[in-house]
Amino acid sequence: MKFFVFIFFFAHIKAWAFPQFISNQSTHCFQCHSSDQNGLLNSYGKNYSRNILSQSNSEYLDIQTPSWLQVGARSVFLQTFTESSQNSQAAFSIKRAEVGALLKQQVDSHEFTALATFGRYEPIAKDITFRDYAYLPEFYFNYQIVENESDLLLNVKIGRYKPNYGIAIRDYQIINEMNFGQERTQGQLSLQGAEYEFLYSRLFNRRDYNLTSSESGDLLRLSRVVKKNLLIGINSYKSNMQSFEGVFAVIQSSDELSTLLQIDQHHFDDKKGVAFFIRPEYIIQQGLKFFSALEYRNRQIETSNPHDQQISAGLQYFPYAQVDLTAVYKNTNNTNVISPDSQSLWLSVQLSM
């Protein structure tokens, strides 16, 4: 068996803990909300948020800031051990360390939000300088109108942040490797109700850490909640570099069991391929989750090779927003490399304060 040990240490101020926890863990907004723009909590979301927000700020060394200001920091350290039929290697790196500030002010039904982060990562290139380490990964200004009587939210968001395509959880390796894990400079308009969402983004360029790629295009997403336990959606991403279109769904069978599904067709280098993702998740008890996943992508619809395929299963333990322990076993078949078959074990520890 080949082993790959993946260890995270994640730290930030508790004022930032809840939104960062949701966006950076194996947890997606749809599991707790009717949409990813702060929609109404479902029954699982209510129980989950009640658990992780029940601790007082002082227990986590919270920095007391004004009500309109939140500050935070986070860091990621990576230790890897890899074995294959070709070679074995071990490596340690500081993958990412960031500090940030979030300003928020609400006047009646109008809310203004501004966020900026500054960080560093471990570059791979040779002859690197300070600019290769330090970068500004994310910043934006958001204006939101809240209609309390109709639960209607109108958002205008301008800045650099990751595209809102599909489910977009970080564990979806294959689709993230298709450049959805990088921030775009974009302007976004979204309209969201208790059971539906419309989102449009105009893309201007893509950020690859401290480098900028010229990528312009449009992103469109529509989603709707059906009978309170099923969310279905369609989305389209078209730019001068690549294009995707597909469907996604979140099936909430019960408070404990949910299933994520996403199917996409992608266009790259005048070829069409299919990307597929399905992930059942079961809450064993509050803060303990079992999940499994199947990921698949081919380069051309007409042929099965070359392709990437990954089957995984794991446990995630998150008693609080500040503690996350995950163990994942993965079986991978990638016909694009010399050694297509591999098995791996990922063990991660993520901590916050």
β pairing state of 110-121 and 288-298: unpaired
Distance between CA atoms of residues 276 and 259, nearest Å: 14
- Residue 102, C-beta contacts closer than 8 angstroms, at least 6 positions apart: 16, 69, 70, 71, 72, 113, 114, 115
Q: Give the three-state DSSP class for 179.
A: helix
The average confidence (pLDDT) of the chain is 73
pLDDT reading at 57 higher than 50: no
Assigned token pair, 180: 């959805």
Q: Tell which CATH classification among 3.40.50.720, 3.30.750.200, 2.40.160.10, 1.10.3720.10 matches the domain 14-351.
A: 2.40.160.10
pLDDT digits (tens, 9 = 90+) for 269-292: 677 888 888 989 888 887 788 999
Percent of the chain at pLDDT above 90? Answer: 10
Please list the alpha-helical segments (H only) found in the chain. Answer: 14-24, 29-32, 43-52, 130-133, 173-175
Cut 0.85: pTM above it = no
- Residue 144's pLDDT band, with cuts at 50, 70 and 90, is confident
- Residue type (1 letter), 293: A
Measure the CA–CA gap between 85 and 88, rounded to whole angstroms: 8
**DSSP 8-state code for residue 62:** P
Which residues have a Cβ under 8 Å from the Cβ of 188 and sit 6 or more positions away? 155, 156, 157, 158, 164, 199, 200, 201, 202
pLDDT at residue 236, as a whole number: 93
d(CA 298, CA 276): 9
Instruction: Reply yes or no on whether the pLDDT at 171 is more than 80.
Output: no
The pair of three-digit structure tokens given for residue 87, joined into one six-digit string: 């070679």
Q: Which two tokens stand for residue 278?
A: 């399905």
**Average pLDDT value for residue range 60-79:** 67
* Residues 250-262 pLDDT 10s: 888 887 888 889 8
Mean pLDDT across 290-301? 81
β-pair partners for 154? 145, 191
- Phi, psi angles (nearest 5°) of residue 47: -65, -40
The pLDDT score that the predictor gives to residue 14 is: 44
pLDDT digits (tens, 9 = 90+) for 178-234: 666 678 899 999 988 777 889 999 999 988 766 788 899 999 999 888 877 788 899
In the prediction, which pLDDT does 161 show? 84
- SS3 at position 57: helix
DSSP 58: G
Amino acid 9: pLDDT:
34
CA angle 67-43-20, nearest 5°?
40
Is residue 324 within 8 A of residue 350, CB to CB? The reply is: yes
